[in-house]
Amino acid sequence: MVSAKLYDGRLAVDIAGLKMQTPVTTASGTFGFGLEFTDFLDLEKVGAVCVKGTTLLPREGNKGQRVVETPSGMLNCVGLENPGSDYFLNETLPKLRKYDVPVIVNIAASSPEEYGELAHKLDVDGVDAVEINISCPNVKQGGIAFGTCPDSAAAVVEQVKKHFTKTVITKLSPNVTSITEMALVGKINTDLVGRLNRLGGKAVGLNGKDDNLIQARKHLADVYENGEVNLVDIGYVGTVEHINTELLNVLLDNDFIPVIAPTGVGATGETYNINADSVAGEIAGALKAEKLLVLTDVKGIYADYRDESTFLSTMTFEKAQELIIKGNIDGGMIPKVKACITALSGGAKKAQIIDGRAEHSILMEVFSDEGVGTEVVKTL
């Protein structure tokens, strides 16, 4: 952890437990081990030093010409040349620890198991995070990069999380049709499933393509310009058209906990990224759920967000629409409120917005008579 107040603390960030005095870091593969640049840059002026790709054993890299200059830049095929993890731990890390700056180690391997072994070896004082390089060829799968297949990416992340106790960053490959799918399915979903299962649950990871669970269409955004409203294509962002509950009901009937990544599938198989709150509302309505709980980082809904005395323990559809129009409900809270409305309109019995920061807030809402947060209802 950095002790000095760099830039008076104005740029300090905390990313999944990794505390940095600025979000500006060095990039793996472009900065060596950082020590090579100390004549040009004070390492304590960056948020973290992310060292070059490190493998379990020393690696010579590719033979022949490795760098070619082009009119638009430079191509390289260095091949992850590095002295290996032992050299890094014994020679490089002690020198980096002299600087008051977090150290992130970019790791590469040829199988999920090897990633796990390397992560375990690097789980030492002085290594503040690992960055998983999943652009590496997967030897067991015929050379396909881990980062181009959600299942392969998930297997690697699972192994690293199992063997490394601090912050884990996944460096995704750009060579995929949907980087969103890689992030949501390959990393976040896997992480949540693992945590639930370690606590004794029976969690199963799903995404919108599984059994056509979330059928979607392209979402066109409203853009206001020169007094006109234009519909703009913003890429593979989708809107839910239909929820197929057959698979969900089978899992729920057998006491499994579905953990669903908010990705949908289009009519021709394309993947869409969908707002997670919107997906939750659609699924709750389709399942006729007893209750939809939407967690946020405030107590609930206020008639005037600047005045805590205007907290609403209950809010109707009509009141919600009024507050949205007035601007008292804005930003990320709008899709949460709309998710509650969607759930109730679809057949869910109750919907509640609660403070996820409060300890045991879900238990208090489910099992106490008083409840917490703001309940959204059709009418009073």
List the structure tokens of 152. Answer: 């392969």
Rounded to the nearest 10 degrees, the angle between the axes of helix 333-346 and helix 317-326 is 160
3-state secondary structure the chain: CCCCCHHHHCCCEEECCEEECCCCCCCCCCCCCCHHHCCCCCHHHCCCEEEEEECCCCECCCCCCCEEEECCEEEECCCCCECCHHHHHHHHHHHHCCCCCCEEEEECCCCHHHHHHHHHHCCCCCCCEEEEECCCEEHHHCCEEHHHCHHHHHHHHHHHHHHCCCEEEEECCCCCCCHHHHHHHHHHHHHHHHHHHHCCCCEEEEECCHHHCEEEEEEEEEEEECCEEEEEEEEEEEEEEEECCHHHHHHHHCCCEEEEECEEECCCCCEEECCHHHHHHHHHHHCCCCCEEEEECCCCEECCCCCHHHEECEEEHHHHHHHHHHCCCCCCHHHHHHHHHHHHHHCCCCEEEEECCCCCHHHHHHHCCCCCCEEEECCC
Catalytic residue among 50, 77, 136, 340: 136
136 is catalytic: yes
Residues with catalytic roles: 136
